């Protein structure tokens, strides 16, 4: 019997891919009992694609189409087709800068996860670390959640707190939140891959 994990991840990203690296390396180390089946990006020269190729993982650039904040219908269909053909069990968003809609959400309902740089439901949307800093909170952090049709509104899987220091600026706070994401995201994906997570309404039950 093969020891290769059968739980398969499909990763979508638009940027450098630091969260992808944390997850891919955790898979390679056996911390996450899963394999990365495919890495997709809407940006042809995205760092996440380079990081995946360095690890000999399958990659694909899918042009996003005419819209600025979401995939057009053709791009969405192409993404869904590639992920289904790759036998993906869980879609992992790692800095993917487009909102998922329609058929994508229906095809992978309850099987799409994202990490957000705040303690949701506080500070959803863009540049959440700046929102937290401007608001004056003493602690913020990151949240791993399932993706639904809303903006950063899906059921929360896990959170990690990051203190806001008196001398923080947006960059320093963002860096520490990133570090927390790199710890939290692999832990949450590992729990899902082990079958330890169940959605009950808005609440997550750990089995």
Enzyme catalytic residues: 116
The CA–CA distances, whole Å, from 58 to 10, 55, 66, 93, 178 equal 10, 9, 26, 16, 25
Q: Which residues pair with 146 in a beta bridge?
A: 113
- Cα–chain center distance at 43: 16
Give the count of alpha carbons within 13 A of 34, CB side only. 29
DSSP classification of residue 71: -
Judge whether 100 and 71 are in contact, CB under 8 Å.
Answer: yes
Q: CB under 8 Å to 39, separation ≥6 — which residues?
A: 10, 11, 12, 13, 20, 48, 49, 52, 57, 58, 59, 60
Burial class from Cβ neighbours inside 10 Å (0-12, 13-18, 19+) for residue 116 reads: buried
Q: Which residues pair with 39 in a beta bridge?
A: 11, 59
| Angle at which helices 18-28 and 170-193 cross, to 10° | 30
Between CA 39 and CA 190 the distance in angstroms is: 18
């Amino acid at each position: 019997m093969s020891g290769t994990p059968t739980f398969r991840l499909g990763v979508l990203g638009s940027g450098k891919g630091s969260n992808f690296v944390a997850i891919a390396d955790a898979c390679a180390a056996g911390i996450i009992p899963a394999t990365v089946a495919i890495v997709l990006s809407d940006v042809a020269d995205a760092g996440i694609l380079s990081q995946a190729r360095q690890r000999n993982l399958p990659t694909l650039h899918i042009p996003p189409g005419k819209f600025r904040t979401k995939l057009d219908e053709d791009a969405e269909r192409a993404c869904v087709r590639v992920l289904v053909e790759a036998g993906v069990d869980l879609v992992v968003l790692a800095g993917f800068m487009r909102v998922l809609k329609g058929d994508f959400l229906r095809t992978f309902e309850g099987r799409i996860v994202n990490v957000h740089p705040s303690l949701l439901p506080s500070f959803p949307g863009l540049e959440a670390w700046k929102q937290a800093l401007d608001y004056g909170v003493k602690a913020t952090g990151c949240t791993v959640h399932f993706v639904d049709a809303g903006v950063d509104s899906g059921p929360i899987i896990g959170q990690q707190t990051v203190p806001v220091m008196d001398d923080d600026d947006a960059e320093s706070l963002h860096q520490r939140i990133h570090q927390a994401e790199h710890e939290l995201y692999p832990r949450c994906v590992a729990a899902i891959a082990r079958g330890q997570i169940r959605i009950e309404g808005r609440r997550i039950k750990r089995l």
